[in-house]
Amino acid sequence: MEFYYNGLGQSDPLDALQSKALTDRFRRGEIFVTGKYYIDALLQYEAHPLVNLLVTTIYNLEDNSFLFQPRLNWEVSQSFELLLGINVSEGSAGSEFGELINPQDGIGFGNPSQAYLIATYFF
């Protein structure tokens, strides 16, 4: 478990979108959240020497929204690996991981849930 503080973060997610310093770093992948205070946790279970189950949760302490990321990592062979996972965002309207409402037009946008499968071949 870890506490994370983002010095560039904003309490209001819409304010964060107006911060050039924050959005520039976000676009470059240097930071991945827009708020200030978070708790995150990672649980890992080795089901088999070649199969790992992982769950990550990132919780925004200011707006009570969160990102939940369970995944399975399977080393099929010495040179082939599969990663299967989902990203589930949850939060109320106006929260970072929930739905943000554009004050100019009232249209909401948010973080949709995602499923993914990544196959990696090493040679």
Mean of the pLDDT values across residues 57-79? 97
Query: Mean pLDDT lowest for which of 17-21, 52-56, 119-123?
Result: 17-21
Q: Which of 11-15, 57-61, 89-93 has the highest mean pLDDT?
A: 57-61
90: tokens are 């949850």
Helices (H) and strands (E) in the chain, counts: 2, 8
In 3D space, the residue among 63, 72, 68, 80 whose CA is nearest the CA of residue 119 turns out to be 80
Domain range annotation of the chain: 2-121
Query: Do the beta carbons of residue 67 and residue 32 sit within 8 Å?
Result: no
| pLDDT range class, residue 16, cuts 50, 70, 90 | confident
Residue 84 Cα distances to 76, 80, 98, 103, 120, angstroms = 13, 13, 23, 37, 11
